[in-house]
Amino acid sequence: MFTVFCILTIVSFYGYGVSCVFSGHMLAEFERYGLVRFRKLTGYLQILGATGLLVGFVASPVVGLLAACCLSLQMLLGFGVRLRIRDSLVQCLPSFIYVWINAGLAFGFVNRLT
């Protein structure tokens, strides 16, 4: 299961990160969040996090652990933003799910350290 969730998360965050940096749709979303100035930073951090998960998966569990913890925190902050702007439960759910997926990946990387 660890492998499936790790690959799913890597692909998701690469896709979302690239979208944050280059997509006009994401510009509109970040305007809605009131966070336009953080759009590209968010995208680059997600690309960096996905890269960290990939490195952790193939070579260094320590890097994967750090990446999973940081992505979990980023998704927790994203969930908070969604709550602050009063998005529906359906709109809030993906960020909440990714908080827990990345927390689970962090534990998986800890297990790979031992």
Q: pLDDT, tens digit, for every residue of 60-103?
A: 999 999 999 999 999 999 999 999 999 999 999 999 999 999 99
Per-residue confidence band for 33, with pLDDT thresholds at 50, 70 and 90: very high
**pTM of the predicted protein model:** 0.94
Reply yes or no on whether the pLDDT at 114 is more than 90.
no
Reply yes or no on whether the pLDDT at 31 is more than 90.
yes
Amino acid 41: pLDDT: 97
d(CA 45, CA 35): 15
pLDDT digits (tens, 9 = 90+) for 5-25: 999 999 999 999 999 999 989
Residue 70 makes CB contacts below 8 A (sequence gap 6+) with 45, 49, 52
Residue 102 makes CB contacts below 8 A (sequence gap 6+) with 9, 68, 69, 71, 72, 75
Cα–Cα nearest to 27, from 13, 11, 38, 12: 38
Query: How large is the average pLDDT for residues 18-40?
Result: 95
